[in-house]
């Protein structure tokens, strides 16, 4: 669509801008301000320059947390994206079953994140939880408070339970936009199921998948409440992700300077990775516009 | 075409081949159908099992819960629900949560609609940068803003109010709403606007009477997402409140007492937080199927 | 190769159809011969797309049989039927090149690559797609996309019929005739049965040797464009074919005279004779506007009419006339001056058709 050049459009944006500025720019300034100072109390502070940033970047505990965070995000993406596509492909397309399945599949997305943690805490406990108890009955010494492997596996399973529906719904919606004629033509062309998926369904899903991957990356990178409730970051610090490290540092230890520097680094990592995806989306839309022209 | 000409004996062979193919196909497609259903059922069980377990716990007394694993409540009790509905501390948690979620939805959609319209229709100085900056807010971890928010809202005297949480959630909900709505609005042809203006509609009248009805399913999907992200967020909501506007999510932490965790009440409170979500999905279920792709397929 | 026969075929989208209106296709028999170019013409909703989908196997008919060369194929899926179909909106595989699109149906059945190449090149040449072979299909224009989807049918040497479901809907008007001519050319070159569904009589008559006109789920006439024009079998065909459509006059027999309301028609006696045997009140006479003779003065056997309006269309004019209570249209060529106020009509005997209960009845001429 060719847009009209009109700077009065700023008036339409203004209310939104004021609100977002209030909730984003002012707090961010505070963070930047803290990140270059050492604050003792309300009246005593020193300018420290980039010292906090250097300290944070060289902190082995934080480096480990960043790696852990990437490992977690990539793992859940690797599981949730294919699984979500698969679910979308087998979801019923019409009738009451379609509505029922849709509602059931969406359910985990609308549960408060700490309740998700609680649900899985109850579900996996060795004494009262169905899963934990069953695994122990089967002879596996399942224990998320002692075994990092168990803790990791459980958190990933929880995340898959919690967020696969998002990918599935995005894909389901994308699949619904494919006209019947495409499937009919493919049948006449004697295409196999795999060929239909590869050449008709997957191309139609690329746009929604970029959105899905972007959202999933962002949210998994910010994960806080679910592992905090389920494992508290343990055993040790094996499931302590970035948000939890940051919260502990800022609220728990009141290390304002270092935590502010850490915040900015954290934010920049997400921005950088997301920017790559954003560019991809924009390029794809450019292609689409050319095609329409 | 010539090399596929078939003589009479071939016709017989072909007939046999096609009947065989038909039989194979029939049995294969039936098999596929059942495999599909089986896999779907397995996934639904996977989704429902942890929720079932939560419900199971919520209808058991704490003695029964701790006394040993039972697959369903043997001594069915609603004592935990009664406790929640008779204790103002508990049920006000729900009221508080729903209050700030609704406030946030109203604020977000009200400022996002004109902004999204501007992005989808006009070109203006700095539009692309602004849009990108908006999206970056979607990527800001709430944990980063925890401390500054606390200080900001404390300073302006909004600490422990519903509006504080509603405004804080605007951080990610307004950009999200602008982004989703922009996608839906861009799929409405611009000629519609031009025709309306030629017909003498003023901008506000056109926007409310013509444009908004045209993107109603987009607005439905946007509201769904606004509800979802405001309802599920806990970190900011519990940091910015103490007693008056405390969300249900942080009331739930009270189940951790000196004598251990009150599992039954925790489960009942958790089960009740699922309900509003189900109501919302039920209302938008028909829009979800198509609109979840956010106008970007 | 295939002759496609439909035997007492009927289809309903409802599980328990009771009245005729429940059927998308009412019971019908029909034969498409091998190698013919056919059109299936009718207004939207008359069941033509349903019929097409039954032939290609996308739909299974509720009753009756679909026979390919006498063999029943009702339950054969489309992939086993050796039929290709071109849809209303172009279906191409966006991410593939034109070459890969054309090769797709062959590769799906594991055809050797050198054979694939040979066929693709041949078909691309016939469709003038050779310069585009390396382009991504999604960047093609609508008419090129339609050619690609047709090409996917042509590359298969087992395809015996191609079905077209209003394939020119999304094509620019100036390209339509070009593509239509291409279709005709392809038909001659590949000797393939083609069935072309459309609601446009011009498209149908320029493409097809024989046209089947469908109305309310039935084929009401199957014939050459000329037969449809000169002797429509059914009043609907009369209305639908020609521009303007056929005139129909409600008539009755009174005292041996043929009456249109209160006005007597001057018309051959054999019609009056034929009317004596008719037992229903639904009787019409049909005559094409082109075949009505218009005179300025009374001639033998003419009827006086009022000229209400003249529409000048350049090379010819349409006269809107009133014969008693009955409205008529007549067409005169530009060399004839349009009459003013009054005119005198004569109906040539061999051009008047008798329609009883909407169907044409042959009247023996003396």
Position A4 in a domain: no
A-chain residues near B179 (CB < 8 A) = none
Searching chain A, which residue's CA lies closest to the CA of residue C150? A185
Position B96 in a domain: yes
B6 falls in which pLDDT band (50, 70, 90)? Answer: very low
Q: Choose, out of B39, B72, B148, B150, the residue to mutate when testing the contact with A (most A CBs < 10 Å).
A: B148
Searching chain C, which residue's CA lies closest to the CA of residue A291? C139
Query: Are B278 and A103 within 8 A, CB to CB?
Result: yes
Nearest to B292 among A15, A173, A221 (CB): A173
- Please indicate, yes or no, whether the overall pTM of this predicted structure exceeds 0.95: no
pLDDT in tens, B85-130: 888 888 888 898 999 999 999 999 999 999 999 888 888 887 888 8
Give phi and psi for C37, each to the nearest 5.
-110, 110
Distance of alpha carbon B226 from alpha carbon B102, whole angstroms: 9
Structure tokens at A159: 């995340």
Q: Choose, out of C108, C110, C137, the residue to mutate when testing the contact with A (most A CBs < 10 Å).
A: C108
Nearest to A211 among B145, B277, B296 (CB): B296
Position B7 in a domain: yes
B4 falls in which pLDDT band (50, 70, 90)? Answer: very low
Residues B27 and B108 in one domain: no
C-chain residues near B25 (CB < 8 A) = 77, 80
Residues B228 and B107 in one domain: yes
Position A203 in a domain: yes
Contacts of residues B30-33 at CB distance under 8 Å and 24 or more positions apart, as own/partner, are none
Residues B103 and B23 in one domain: no
Query: Are C158 and B4 within 8 A, CB to CB?
Result: yes
Distance from CA of B27 to the nearest CA of C (A): 13
Distance from CA of A221 to the nearest CA of B (A): 8
CB contacts under 8 A, B 102-161 vs A, are 107, 110-112, 114-115, 117-125, 127, 130, 132, 134-149, 151-152
Residue A286 pLDDT: 62
Distance from CA of A209 to the nearest CA of C (A): 16
pLDDT in tens, A12-62: 888 888 888 888 888 888 888 777 777 666 666 667 767 777 777 777 878
pLDDT in tens, B144-178: 787 888 888 888 888 888 888 898 888 889 998 99
Query: Are A115 and B274 within 8 A, CB to CB?
Result: yes
Residues B27 and B146 in one domain: no
Position A293 in a domain: no
Query: Are A102 and B281 within 8 A, CB to CB?
Result: yes
Distance of alpha carbon C133 from alpha carbon C313, whole angstroms: 45
Range of the domain at A242: 51-285
Searching chain A, which residue's CA lies closest to the CA of residue B125? A7
Into how many domains does chain A fold? 1
Position A100 in a domain: yes
Which has more confidence, A184 or A2?
Answer: A184
Position B67 in a domain: no
Query: Are B4 and C157 within 8 A, CB to CB?
Result: yes
Q: Which of A176-180, A288-292, B55-59, B281-285 has the lowest mean pLDDT?
A: A288-292
CB contacts under 8 A, C 117-156 vs A, are 138-139, 149, 152-153
A-chain residues near B110 (CB < 8 A) = 15
- Predicted complex ipTM: 0.84
Query: Are A189 and C108 within 8 A, CB to CB?
Result: yes
Residue A254 pLDDT: 72
Distance of alpha carbon B281 from alpha carbon A103, whole angstroms: 6
Query: Are C80 and B15 within 8 A, CB to CB?
Result: no
Position B165 in a domain: yes
Look at residue B15 and tell me whether its pLDDT is greater than 70.
no
B neighbours by CB contacts (3+ pairs under 8 Å) = A, C
Look at residue B47 and tell me whether its pLDDT is greater than 80.
yes
C-chain residues near B27 (CB < 8 A) = none
pLDDT in tens, B49-84: 999 998 888 888 887 777 777 788 878 888 888 888
By the CB < 8 Å criterion, does A1 face chain B? Answer: yes
Nearest to C95 among A188, A203, A290 (CB): A203
pLDDT in tens, A261-270: 888 888 888 8
Q: Enumerate chain C positions whose Cβ falls within 8 A of a Cβ in B.
A: 1, 69, 71, 73, 75-77, 80, 157-158, 190-192
Position B62 in a domain: no
CB contacts under 8 A, C 74-103 vs A, are 77-79, 83-85, 87-89, 91, 93-96
Domains contained in chain C, CATH given? 4-239 (3.40.50.300), 246-361 (2.40.50.140)
Residues B111 and B12 in one domain: no
Average pLDDT, integer, range B177-184: 88
A-chain residues near B53 (CB < 8 A) = 119, 122-123, 129-130
Distance from CA of B13 to the nearest CA of C (A): 13
Nearest to C93 among A179, A199, A291 (CB): A199
Distance from CA of B20 to the nearest CA of C (A): 11
Which residues, 6 or more positions from A261, have their beta carbon under 8 angstroms from its beta carbon?
Answer: A35, A52, A53, A55, A56
Residue B77 pLDDT: 83
Position B158 in a domain: yes
Position B51 in a domain: no
C neighbours by CB contacts (3+ pairs under 8 Å) = A, B
Distance of alpha carbon A117 from alpha carbon B6, whole angstroms: 68
Query: Are C91 and A187 within 8 A, CB to CB?
Result: no
Position A115 in a domain: yes
Range of the domain at B23: 2-41
Distance of alpha carbon C69 from alpha carbon B57, whole angstroms: 68
Give phi and psi for B256, each to the nearest 5.
-85, 100
Q: Choose, out of C78, C141, C158, the residue to mutate when testing the contact with A (most A CBs < 10 Å).
A: C78
Look at residue A289 and tell me whether its pLDDT is greater than 60.
no
Strand partners, B256: B261
Average pLDDT, integer, range B220-226: 89
Residue A64 pLDDT: 84
A76 falls in which pLDDT band (50, 70, 90)? Answer: very high
Position A3 in a domain: no
Q: What is the CATH number of the domain that holds A76?
A: 1.10.3720.10
By the CB < 8 Å criterion, does A141 face chain B? Answer: no
pLDDT in tens, C227-254: 888 888 888 888 888 888 898 988 888 8
Position A229 in a domain: yes
By the CB < 8 Å criterion, does C350 face chain A? Answer: no
Which has more confidence, B28 or C254?
Answer: C254
Searching chain A, which residue's CA lies closest to the CA of residue B176? A215
Per-residue pLDDT of chain C (366 residues; tens, 9 = 90+): 578 888 888 888 887 777 777 788 888 888 888 888 898 888 887 888 888 888 888 888 888 888 888 888 887 888 888 888 888 888 899 888 899 999 998 888 888 888 899 889 988 888 888 898 888 888 888 888 888 988 888 888 888 888 888 888 878 888 888 888 888 888 888 888 888 898 888 888 888 888 988 888 888 888 898 888 888 888 888 888 888 889 898 888 888 788 888 888 888 778 888 888 888 888 888 899 888 888 888 888 888 888 888 888 888 889 898 888 888 898 888 888 888 888 888 888 888 888 888 888 887 765
A neighbours by CB contacts (3+ pairs under 8 Å) = B, C
By the CB < 8 Å criterion, does A90 face chain B? Answer: yes
Q: Choose, out of C75, C154, C190, the residue to mutate when testing the contact with B (most B CBs < 10 Å).
A: C75
The dihedral over CA atoms of A207, A212, A218, A224, expressed in degrees to the nearest 10, equals 170
B-chain residues near C69 (CB < 8 A) = 11
Residues B155 and B277 in one domain: yes
Strand partners, C304: C344
**A259 and B147 in contact (C-beta within 8 Å)?**
yes
SS (H, E, C) chain B: CHHHCCCHHHHHHHHHHHHHHHHHHHHHHHHHHHHHHHHHHHHHHHHHHHHHHHHHHHCCCHHHHHHCCCCCCCCCCCHHHHHHHHCHHHHHHHHHHHHHHHHHHHHHHHHHHHHHHHHHHEECCCHHHHHHHHHHHHCCCHHHHHHHHHHHHHHCCCCCCHHHHHHHHHHHHHHHHHHHHHHHHHCCCHHHHHHHHHCCCCHHHHHHHHHHHHCHHHHHHHHHHHHHHHHHCCHHHHHCCCCCCCCHHHHHHHHEECCEECHHHHHHHHHHHHHHHHHHHHHHHHHHHHHCCCCCC
Distance of alpha carbon C198 from alpha carbon C168, whole angstroms: 9
Position A18 in a domain: no
By the CB < 8 Å criterion, does A13 face chain B? Answer: yes
Into how many domains does chain B fold? 2
Residues B19 and B91 in one domain: no
Output b/e per residue, C44-68; b: 16+ Cβ within 10 A.
Answer: eebbbbbbbbbbbbbbebbebebbb
């Amino acid at each position: 669509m060719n847009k009209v050049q009109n700077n009065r459009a700023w008036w339409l944006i203004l209310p939104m801008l004021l609100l977002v500025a209030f909730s984003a720019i002012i707090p961010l300034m505070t963070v930047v301000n803290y990140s270059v100072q050492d604050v003792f109390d309300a009246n005593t502070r020193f300018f420290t320059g980039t010292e906090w940033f250097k300290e944070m970047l060289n902190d082995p505990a934080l480096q480990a947390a960043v790696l852990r965070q990437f490992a977690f995000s990539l793992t859940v993406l690797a599981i949730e994206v294919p699984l979500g596509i698969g679910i979308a492909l087998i979801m019923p397309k019409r009738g009451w079953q379609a509505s029922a399945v849709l509602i059931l599949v969406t359910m985990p997305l609308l549960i408060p994140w700490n309740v998700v943690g609680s649900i899985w805490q109850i579900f996996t406990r060795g004494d009262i939880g169905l899963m934990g108890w069953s695994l122990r009955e089967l002879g596996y010494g399942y224990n998320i408070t002692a075994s990092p492997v168990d803790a990791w596996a459980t958190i990933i399973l929880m995340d898959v339970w919690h967020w696969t529906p998002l990918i599935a719904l995005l894909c389901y919606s994308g699949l619904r936009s494919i006209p019947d004629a495409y499937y009919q033509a493919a049948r006449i062309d004697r295409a196999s199921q795999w060929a239909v998926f590869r050449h008709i369904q997957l191309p139609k899903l690329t746009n929604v998948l970029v959105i899905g991957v972007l959202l999933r990356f962002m949210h998994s990178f910010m994960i806080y409440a679910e592992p905090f409730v389920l494992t508290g970051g343990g055993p040790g610090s094996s499931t302590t992700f970035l948000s939890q490290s940051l919260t502990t540092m800022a609220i728990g230890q009141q290390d304002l300077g270092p935590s502010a520097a850490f915040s900015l680094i954290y934010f920049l990592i997400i921005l950088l990775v997301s920017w790559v995806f954003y560019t991809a989306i924009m390029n794809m839309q450019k292609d689409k516009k050319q095609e329409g022209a | 075409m010539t090399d596929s000409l078939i003589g009479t004996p071939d016709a017989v062979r072909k007939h046999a081949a096609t009947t065989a193919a038909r039989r194979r196909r029939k049995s294969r497609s039936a098999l596929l159908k059942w495999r599909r259903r089986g896999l779907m059922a397995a996934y639904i069980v996977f989704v429902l099992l942890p929720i079932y377990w939560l419900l199971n716990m919520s209808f058991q007394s704490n003695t029964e819960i701790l006394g040993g694993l039972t697959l369903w409540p043997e001594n069915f009790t609603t004592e935990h629900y009664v406790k929640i509905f008779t204790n103002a501390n508990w049920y006000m948690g729900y009221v508080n949560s729903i209050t700030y979620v609704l406030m946030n939805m109203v604020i977000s959609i009200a400022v996002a609609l004109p902004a999204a319209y501007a992005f989808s229709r006009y070109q203006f100085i700095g539009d692309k940068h602004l849009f990108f900056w908006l999206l970056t807010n979607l990527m800001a971890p709430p944990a980063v803003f925890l401390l500054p928010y606390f200080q900001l809202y404390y300073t302006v005297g909004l600490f422990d109010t519903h509006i504080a949480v509603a405004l804080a959630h605007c951080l990610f909900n307004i950009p999200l709403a602008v982004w989703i709505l922009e996608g839906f609005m861009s799929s409405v042809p611009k000629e519609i606007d031009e025709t309306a203006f030629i017909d003498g509609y003023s901008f506000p009248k056109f926007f409310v009477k013509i444009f908004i009805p045209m993107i109603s399913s987009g607005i439905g999907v946007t509201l769904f997402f606004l509800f979802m992200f405001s309802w599920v967020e806990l970190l900011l909501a519990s940091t910015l409140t103490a007693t008056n506007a405390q969300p249900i999510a942080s009331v739930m932490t009270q189940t951790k007492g000196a004598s251990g965790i009150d599992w039954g009440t925790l489960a009942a409170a958790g089960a009740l937080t699922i309900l509003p979500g189900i109501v919302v999905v039920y209302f938008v279920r028909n829009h979800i199927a198509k609109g979840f792709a956010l106008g970007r397929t | 190769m295939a002759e496609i026969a439909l035997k007492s075929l009927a289809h309903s989208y409802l599980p328990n159809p009771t009245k005729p209106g429940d059927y998308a296709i009412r019971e019908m028999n029909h034969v498409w011969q091998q190698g013919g170019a056919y059109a299936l013409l009718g207004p939207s909703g008359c069941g033509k797309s349903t019929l097409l989908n039954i032939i290609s196997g996308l739909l299974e008919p509720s009753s009756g049989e679909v026979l390919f060369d006498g063999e029943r194929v009702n339950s054969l899926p489309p992939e086993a039927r050796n039929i290709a179909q071109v849809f209303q909106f172009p279906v191409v595989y966006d991410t593939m090149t034109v070459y890969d699109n054309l090769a797709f149906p062959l590769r799906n059945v594991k055809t050797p690559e050198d054979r694939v190449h040979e066929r693709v090149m041949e078909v691309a040449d016939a469709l003038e797609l050779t310069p585009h072979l390396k382009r991504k299909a999604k960047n093609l224009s609508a008419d090129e996309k339609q050619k690609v989807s047709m090409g996917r049918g042509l590359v298969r040497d087992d395809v015996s019929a191609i079905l077209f479901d209003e394939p020119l809907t999304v094509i620019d008007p100036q390209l339509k005739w070009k593509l239509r001519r291409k279709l005709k050319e392809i038909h001659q070159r590949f000797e393939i049965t083609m069935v072309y569904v459309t609601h446009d009589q011009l498209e149908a008559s320029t493409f097809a040797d024989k046209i089947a006109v469908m109305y309310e789920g039935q084929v009401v006439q199957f014939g050459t464009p000329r037969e449809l024009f000169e002797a429509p079998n059914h009043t609907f065909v009369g209305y639908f074919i020609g521009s303007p459509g056929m005139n129909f006059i409600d008539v009755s027999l009174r005292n041996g005279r043929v009456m249109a309301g209160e006005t007597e028609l001057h018309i051959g006696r054999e019609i009056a004779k034929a009317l004596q045997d008719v037992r229903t009140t639904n009787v019409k006479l049909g005559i094409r506007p082109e075949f009505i003779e218009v005179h300025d003065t009374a001639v033998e056997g003419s009827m006086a009419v009022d000229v209400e309006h003249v529409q000048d269309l350049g090379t010819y004019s349409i006269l809107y006339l009133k014969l008693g209570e009955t409205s008529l249209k007549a067409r005169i060529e530009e060399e004839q001056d349009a009459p003013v106020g009054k005119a005198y009509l004569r109906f040539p005997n061999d051009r008047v058709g008798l329609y009883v209960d909407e169907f044409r009845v042959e009247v023996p001429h003396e």
